[in-house]
Amino acid sequence: MGRVGSLFSAASQGRGFQSLFIWDLMKRPARTTELEKAIGYKFKDRALLQRALTHASARSSRTVEDNERLEFLGDRVLGLAIAELLCEKLPQANEGELARRFNRLVRGGTCAQIGRAIGLGPHLILSGSEAESGGRDKDTILADAMEALLGALMIEAGFDQARKIVRALWAGELEKEERSLPTEVAQPCNS
């Protein structure tokens, strides 16, 4: 029957075009090579990577798992990795200064910016309506997917690997934070 014929056959059997859209996107793992190069890690568990890239809008049935639980875990991985990095890089900063910088580094806008930098958007699995409304470039979707990707890294490779990737991906943002430090915080005391 061929692929196109089977697609239209499925649509006529009442599964709908949203299901077909999701079915067609299941081939994404073959295209995730660029994303894996950008983060410096190749997933062994392709289903885990696919789940990290699947937005809740694509959940047309109970058989499709979305990335919300991975996002929850990834948020904690990112927070711990950034907190550790800030304490290491800014030994003279007080808690208030660390908290302000931490919040800038883990906020949704920063996560979305990093997601754009690694080309995350084109790899996201979204519902047809979400994709059509520009979902691949929405800050909230990119930020959540970035965190889900970190959660998937944590599950597959452990915290050390996830931390290494956070340090690499957030290096530019951390450099901006270090350049903006007041000199008394940036320089250790010589007393």
Which two three-digit tokens encode residue 28? 């994404």
Residue 147 amino acid letter: E
Return the pLDDT at 63. 65
Q: Which residue has the higher pLDDT, 129 or 168?
A: 168
| Residue of 66, 71, 75, 177 marked active site | 75
What does the pLDDT average to over 23-32? Answer: 48
| Residue of 71, 144, 147, 177 marked active site | 147
Known catalytic residue: 130? no
Lowest mean pLDDT among 29-38, 44-53, 96-105, 156-165: 29-38
Known catalytic residue: 137? no
Please state, in angstroms and rounded to a whole number, the distance separating the CA atoms of residues 71 and 56.
Answer: 11
Q: Which listed CATH number (3.40.50.720, 1.10.238.10, 3.10.310.70, 1.10.1520.10) goes with 30-186?
A: 1.10.1520.10
